[in-house]
Amino acid sequence: MKLIKRLIQGIFAHLDLPLFMIVMALMGIGLMSIYSATASDGFWKLDRQLINIAASTVVMFAVARTPPQTLMRFAVPLYLLGLVLLIAVALFGIVVNGSRRWISLGVMRIQPSEIMKIAMPLMLAWYFQKHESMLRGKHFFVAGIILLLPIALVLKQPDLGTSLLIGAAGFFVIFFAGLPWKVMLGMGAAFGAAMPMMWSMMHDYQRRRVLTLLDPSSDPLGAGYHIIQSTIAIGSGGGLGKGYLNGTQTHLEFIPEKHTDFIFAVFSEEWGLLGNGVLLVLFTLLIGRGLMIAAAAPTLFSRLLAGALTLVFFIYAFVNMGMVSGILPVVGVPLPFISYGGTALVTLMLGVGILMSIHTHRMLVKK
Amino acid sequence: MNDFHHSEQDSDRFRSRVVFAGSLVLLCFLLLFGRFFYLQILQHDYYATRAESNRISLVPVMPNRGNIVDRNGVILARNYSAFTLEITPSKTMGLEDTIDKLNEIVEIQLKDRRRFKRLLEESKNFESIPIRTRLSDEEVARFAAHRYRFPGVEVKARLFRQYPENSLAAHAIGYISRINTKDKEMIEASGHEANYKGTEQIGKVGLEAHYEFELHGTAGYEQVEVDAGGRAVRIMSQTAPIPGNNLTLTLDAELQRVAEQAFGGRRGSLAAIDPSNGAVLALVSSPAFDPNLFVDGIRFDDWDELNNHPDKPLLNRAIYSTYPPGSTFKPLMALGALTTGKRTASQTIADPGFFQFGNRRFMDDKVGGHGMVDMHKSIVVSCNTYYYVLANDMGIDNIARFMGELGLGRRTEIDIPGEATGILPSPEWKQRRFKKREQQKWYPGETISVGIGQGYNAYSTLHMAHALANILNYGRVFRPHLVHSITNPTTGEVRMVEPQPVRQIELKREHVEVIKRGMAGVVREGTGARAFAGASYESGGKTGTAQVFSLKGGQKYIAGQVRERLRDHSWYVAFAPVDHPRIVVAVMVENGGFGAQSAAPIARQVFDYHLTGQRPGGPAPEVSSPEEEEESAVEQAEETTDEAD
């Protein structure tokens, strides 16, 4: 009896209630929208997502209990494992829809780029922590290499969305570590100058996505169809929405990928600007809480990690809503905690767990 | 100390960067919110409309095509409802598999599959497409018992066009068939595009084509909610279609049947007109075809058979085939002479049996000639010499002008498409017709051939009946028409077609009477006498023979010795009763020999039925008698034939 009580206490001791409640609210909205999007197929997608949520919540609790020092020990092995697997993908990966993203491990297929989403900030935070007292230019240079190596491999698959997320995660660590503004501006200028070259290296479908973003009506039945239909869904939702389960764009199947990447259109059609406002507030609270945790974190490693992971949530949310509402190109980025899908959810909840771990272990470190 | 300070500085910089990042996040979210505000508030109306038009689709509902009935209400074209087995491809699990399994229950032949494939290529995937038409009741019942096995397959009642009298008046009625690219262009050009959105068939020939827009009706619409795949989810509202108008014809189906049967399968045509108003009573082109073959899309072998048959059953001979009118032209020439003042009825000529023109001699059909011949006699005995001289006196320009007035050499504007203009020869026509200079010249000798209805002259039976009707009507010209009235089935409103004359030819009553009496004489004592022996009414007529090929000078034409296809064409134009003509006919039997031989007996049967209600026992017989042989086709046999072509 006492044992169980202690166990429960042990679990909840490392729970950050505000963060937990925000995430649960988001996942609740997600379940609701997934049901609306997939009601015609019955309940099975909803059931699967419930299992995904349960599993990823367990992962979150487990990680939250793990002290940051322990997490730090995983940094290098996880990064190297991810890198090796990415190289393996490039050599023996399985091609699906023209992209080489998966590797077969006999019983299951895994997507190593997913590991990198966590391994990258972990590795860079570890690296800066290691050189904390004497950070110089060369350390930023090495960090850049650590960052670019896996990104290049993921871009090669090609997977624009994931490389963007990995790149963002790594960049945020470097940013918080104090990369001088001058260097950032210089890099920005260099990036702008390199644009034409990148254009020439892009795959046709990536170029099309950029072009259809600029003018979706140029290809209304092809690549522009997604953006046009999701924009219609959002716009026709109006101020208060069409009402739950009443979205015509959703229920008459006009929205593509409606339970995954385009689920925001489903939600927005049925709940309108009001719903969107609530969602934006929830994400703002999530990010605000994350940044507070980062600001309060005791070590460089935990500060950088918490800050970077929080901003990754932001990037997910911003890029997804931006693309569905037609102001950003269509890249395969799900809406965090809302879109259907187990892998992304586990990665996200792992991040939440790390944030909780950092927050709940800060006193212990200080002692 | 230094370390601590360093760390403190780091920490401050970190906090400022957190604040910076947080501000950036807020800014980005505000940008998103702005975007949402723009889409959902400012542009809401626009996107709401877009969503509605996405969702709602207008599905046309076909109107019933109008019926066609004869003057007595006999149905010639109607729609009937039949069960068809239809497949909606998008709802099935595997199309081929479904069809194979269906075949175990309802027989599906290879031709059904072929047609289905063709329709599939032309249709949208959410439409249901017939795989089998005209299911029997037993087949419907059998499918009903198994229907649970076939998602996306259903039995539907569809309307089909049917011509219950089969080949009767097929050329006049025409048929409907699938809309092709040319029809589509026509529909677009005439601005009927919207009304034809769901229409699959269109009138191709005959009345079905000419009155297409009367018969079609106005399509209704169903507002249907559709999903992104275009599948109809539910019907939201409905506008009923307005059925097409019904046509009541001037045609008498029984008279038509009598006339068609009189041909007994021989090639030829007949046009029967009520001279008092231009109403077409019968319009025969023999042999005919069954228009029902075309309705579902004609099968290839049926088409091949119809199209390549040597008798050309698809050809509407009554309005399209033109032939020299031969001696049937003579009454018209006589009237022309009276009207232009070139002859009086009593003026006589001496007929030596030929007409000497320069160094050429145009032969009469009777060796030694007919003696003294006035106009009446010239018609009764069909005296060539009289008309050789007359043509020469009138001149080609007068002839062409007068015949043109009568309606020859131009379209009669009958209400079915495909009419030929015919050829009314004149120096101007020859200039237009030929390119080479030496061929363009008009030779006076040609005028003389024209005078007896040979030479370049070429008219359809409709032309000849029309011209004669115009004469009998004392110059009041009515457009020949097949449709008597158009009835709106919804309102019951009836619109009459054409009671007004379109023009007036300057003809004198007494001149017309001369012609009538002459033609009555032909039936009483001339070449028409045998065919009309014992008739209970008085009729007038004129036989004629159109040469298929020219015989060399002096060669005697003997019908039995000429291969069938080279025999002359047989003409007969007639009217009855003489006092108050109720019917005019022009009959032509291809390769029928002399006019009196094949054509006149057909006219007899038509008159008998129309005037006395008497039905013939069988096809019109071929009669032959010595007098008739006299009116042989040597009419144009000339001493010299150098200018024949």
Q: What average pLDDT does chain A have?
A: 88
Does the annotation count B177 as an active-site position?
Answer: no
The pTM assigned to this predicted structure is 0.65
Confidence of residue A126 (pLDDT cuts 50, 70, 90): very high
A249 Cβ under 8 Å from any chain B Cβ: yes
Confidence of residue B557 (pLDDT cuts 50, 70, 90): low
B229 Cβ under 8 Å from any chain A Cβ: yes
- Put simply, the chain B residues between 580 and 639 with a CB less than 8 A from any chain A CB are none
A87 Cβ under 8 Å from any chain B Cβ: no
Q: What ipTM was predicted for this assembly?
A: 0.93
Is A10 contained in some domain?
no
Query: If we measure between CA atoms, which residue out of B408, B418, B260 comes closest to residue B335?
Result: B408
Q: Is B94 exposed, middle or buried (0-12, 13-18, 19+ CB in 10 A)?
A: exposed
3-state secondary structure chain A: CHHHHHHHHHHHHCCCHHHHHHHHHHHHHHHHHHHHHHHHHCCHHHHHHHHHHHHHHHHHHHHHHCCHHHHHHHHHHHHHHHHHHHHHHHHHCEEECCEEEEEECCCCEECHHHHHHHHHHHHHHHHHHHCHHHCCHHHHHHHHHHHHHHHHHHHHCCCHHHHHHHHHHHHHHHHHCCCCHHHHHHHHHHHHHHHHHHHHHCCHHHHHHHHHHHCHHHCCCCCHHHHHHHHHHHHHHCCCCCCCCCCHHHHCCCCCCCCCCCHHHHHHHHHHHHHHHHHHHHHHHHHHHHHHHHHHCCCHHHHHHHHHHHHHHHHHHHHHHHHHCCCCCCCCCCCCCCCCCHHHHHHHHHHHHHHHHHHHCHHHHHC
Tokens for B436, please give them.
């080479």
* Per-residue CA distances from B366 to B125, B568, B636 (Å): 75, 18, 12
pLDDT of A228-281, one tens digit each?
A: 889 999 999 999 999 998 888 888 778 878 888 899 999 999 999 999 999 999
Is A267 contained in some domain?
yes
Is A131 contained in some domain?
yes
Nearest CB among B3, B51, B226 relative to A236 is that of: B51
Classified as helix, coil or strand, B354 is: strand
Confidence of residue B645 (pLDDT cuts 50, 70, 90): very low
Distance from CA of B62 to the nearest CA of A (A): 26
Residue A86 belongs to what domain range? 17-366
Is A158 contained in some domain?
yes
Would the CB atoms of A288 and B22 count as touching at under 8 Å? Answer: yes
- Tell me which of A91 and B215 has the higher pLDDT: B215
Nearest-CA residue of chain B relative to A291? B18
Would the CB atoms of A321 and B32 count as touching at under 8 Å? Answer: yes
Nearest CB among A175, A236, A253 relative to B17 is that of: A175
Average pLDDT over every residue of B354-383 = 90
A284 Cβ under 8 Å from any chain B Cβ: yes
Confidence (pLDDT) at B624: 62
Confidence of residue B561 (pLDDT cuts 50, 70, 90): low
Report the range of poorest mean pLDDT among A281-290, A350-359, B132-141.
B132-141
Tokens for B411, please give them.
């379209």
Confidence (pLDDT) at B552: 45
Distance from CA of A322 to the nearest CA of B (A): 7
Structurally, how many domains does chain A consist of?
1
For residue B24, pLDDT over 90 is answered with yes
Is A11 contained in some domain?
no
Nearest CB among A231, A234, A252 relative to B55 is that of: A252
Query: If we measure between CA atoms, which residue out of B274, B323, B275, B328 comes closest to residue B515?
Result: B328
Would the CB atoms of A268 and B13 count as touching at under 8 Å? Answer: no
Is A1 contained in some domain?
no
Average pLDDT over every residue of A306-335 = 92
For residue B635, pLDDT over 50 is answered with no
Pairing of strands B68-69, B246-249: parallel
Is A9 contained in some domain?
no
B41 Cβ under 8 Å from any chain A Cβ: yes
- Tell me which of B614 and B467 has the higher pLDDT: B467
For residue B554, pLDDT over 50 is answered with no
For residue B326, pLDDT over 60 is answered with yes
Confidence (pLDDT) at B479: 94
**Residues of chain B with C-beta less than 8 angstroms from the C-beta of A229:** 54, 228
Which residue blocks in B454-494 are alpha helix, DSSP H?
461-472
Confidence (pLDDT) at B634: 41
**Residues of chain A with C-beta less than 8 angstroms from the C-beta of B236:** none
For residues A173 and B448, what is the distance between their CA atoms, to the nearest angstrom? 113
Would the CB atoms of A291 and B22 count as touching at under 8 Å? Answer: yes
Report the range of poorest mean pLDDT among A29-38, A199-208, B267-276.
A199-208
Please check whether residue A333 is in contact with residue A323, taking contact to mean a CB–CB distance below 8 angstroms: yes
**Residues of chain A with C-beta less than 8 angstroms from the C-beta of B10:** 178, 300
Average pLDDT over every residue of A33-49 = 88
Nearest-CA residue of chain B relative to A278? B33
Please identify which of the residues B327, B449, B460, B598 carries the catalytic annotation: B327
Report the range of poorest mean pLDDT among A77-91, A272-286, A334-348, B101-115.
B101-115
pLDDT of B59-88, one tens digit each?
A: 778 889 999 999 999 999 999 888 888 887
pLDDT of A3-15, one tens digit each?
A: 888 877 777 788 8
- Tell me which of A2 and B182 has the higher pLDDT: B182
Which residue blocks in B211-348 are alpha helix, DSSP H?
212-216, 253-263, 292-295, 300-308, 317-320, 330-340
Domains of chain B: 59-249 (3.90.1310.10), 256-303+316-636 (3.40.710.10)
pLDDT of B202-228, one tens digit each?
A: 999 999 999 999 999 988 888 777 776
Residue identified by tokens 């032959």 is B624
pLDDT of B527-548, one tens digit each?
A: 888 899 889 999 999 999 887 7
The number of C-beta contacts closer than 8 angstroms across A and B is 122
What type of residue sits at position B509? R
Is A300 contained in some domain?
yes
What type of residue sits at position A314? F
Q: What average pLDDT does chain B have?
A: 86
